[in-house]
Structure 1
Amino acid sequence: MTDQPEQTTNPTTDPAAVPGPVVNGENGDSGNTADSTTDPNLVAAGTPLPEGQPQPPSERISPLVFLAIEQALEFASEGSDAVAPFLLGYIDEEQKGMWKLPGADEDQMRSQIAQLEPRPEMAVSVFDARLEVEGQPHDAFVLEAFDNAEGVSATVIQLYSPADATGGAEAVGAPQLFSNGENLLRA
């Protein structure tokens, strides 16, 4: 694990309202990446959505996304006000890593991903944020999943309730697909 010095900048995550589930207009299927066997309305990870809709994380990177959510919840349960941005990288079975980047913004995180050597097969960056949902502020993790076998990255939002005197941080609802971006692992 590599720590960089604390910086005063905050993640530049767009604080716009988090969208509800992405909906396929033809059949009403949700764009969530959960296993479709648990809810017939959910689309399985890696299933292409109609043109113009954000594409969900690939099926092979979905476990790393959920691991990143679990790790972020663990960090949030340790009692700090905000979880420092971090990156999980998977090179192969023998080489996996986590890097904490306190104070990093999205551009700095993307730069770090692009500079990793050897280049990972998959990587997930995680930022702690406050997002407005239905007019109310909510704690959220913003995750960007990069799979070198995919053309784009996938940004996912996971709302959570922070740790309090009664227990640790907990996920609120299912992760929601937000957008796609440049896949830095393919550059």
Structure 2
Amino acid sequence: MRILQTLAKIPRALRPRSPPAYSVASTQEDVLKEFEVSKEDLKLAYLSHPIVNRAIHFRADLIVARGFSLEFSDDTTKEIITEFLRDMKLNSPIHADLKTMIRNACIDCDVFGNAFYHLIPNKARTKIVKLAPLHPVDVDFQRDSVGTILLDSTGEPKGYVFRGGTKEER
């Protein structure tokens, strides 16, 4: 009987231990400081863990799967938006439509917490003809020398900063 008990312990000893789970409920602002994760860490988790990757893609697919419709208050608005969506699709290298852009924005939001698009105007700069995605790792809030987000008089972030290139190039 002792042999069976000893053998039963082997799988438990070989099984990797799961990391501890944390639940935090506090009104203190600094309580989550030790749990901060960088955008690069989030990207690594998304790219290297198949379950995380699949869950994010599954959620994005659920959001856009049923489709959607746009409602307009007047015909002029409808004409402007319809023309913009047509131009956007024609100017995209992969002919991405609004559904694809929303799906990709959902993925960026789930992975990095934000999604950003660059508004590209026509040559005359009279209208926006294209939305180009910006990688969330390269976009951040304007910050002071300490790293605090700069806010305007209403408490909103003052602006954003785009940092192209690798970390070493910056």
How would you bin the TM-score normalised by the shorter chain?
A: under 0.3
More helix by share: 2
> What is the TM-score of this pair, normalised by structure 1?
0.23
More strand by share: 1
**For the pair shown, which has the larger CA radius of gyration, 1 or 2?**
2
